[in-house]
Amino acid sequence: MPARPDAKYINVYLALGSNVGDRAANLRQAQELIQRYIGKIARLSHVYETEPWGNPKQEPFLNRVIMVNTTLSPRELLEAINKIERELGRQRQEKWGPRTIDIDILFYGRRIIRDKGLEIPHPELHKRAFVLAPMLELAPDLQHPILKKPIDQLYMECTDMSEVVMLEEEPR
């Protein structure tokens, strides 16, 4: 994805999840499309198998967090994510329902954004072990700009006891 000449790069953290179809392939395809539409993936966590959150009557998820260098504005980033999710067959039928791919914006640099349909940092990230465990791998000292606590502290204080298992090898 070519950058505008005057653009400034910003680090964004995205959470990826899938529990429909070939979950590992869905994550790989999402990463390829993120590199095409959003920016360069600078870092990525291990893949984790996790219990579904919010609606337990579904298949387990594969999750990971990635750090991407992008020149997109927050709104452009959200539009690109929605495009990728649609391309990969995401259908929004029920809240916390099964999905081929789910991509959430966790952090956009240190910015705080509260806009229609766009909240950054993600308002629930500190309550979700499946987000905090991979974030802990990538940025344990990253300070949450609203809660004023680093990721490692948020992880230790998280009351979500759902199972989050790091996979040693990249699933194929």
Best CA proximity match to 26, nearest among 52, 56, 53, 64: 64
Q: Which candidate in 23, 64, 102, 128 is catalytic?
A: 102
**Catalytic-labelled residue, pool 22, 28, 43, 104:** 104
Catalytic residue among 90, 92, 111, 141: 90
Query: 63 φ, ψ to 5°?
Result: -130, 155
Is residue 90 among the annotated active site residues?
A: yes
Active-site residue (options: 23, 64, 99, 128): 99
SS3 at position 108: strand
C-alpha angle 114-150-30 in degrees, rounded to nearest 5: 60
Among residues 40, 125, 38, the alpha carbon closest in space to that of 75 is found at 38
Q: Is residue 99 among the annotated active site residues?
A: yes
Cα–Cα distance between 167 and 59 in angstroms, integer?
17
Please give the positions annotated as active site. 90, 99, 102, 104
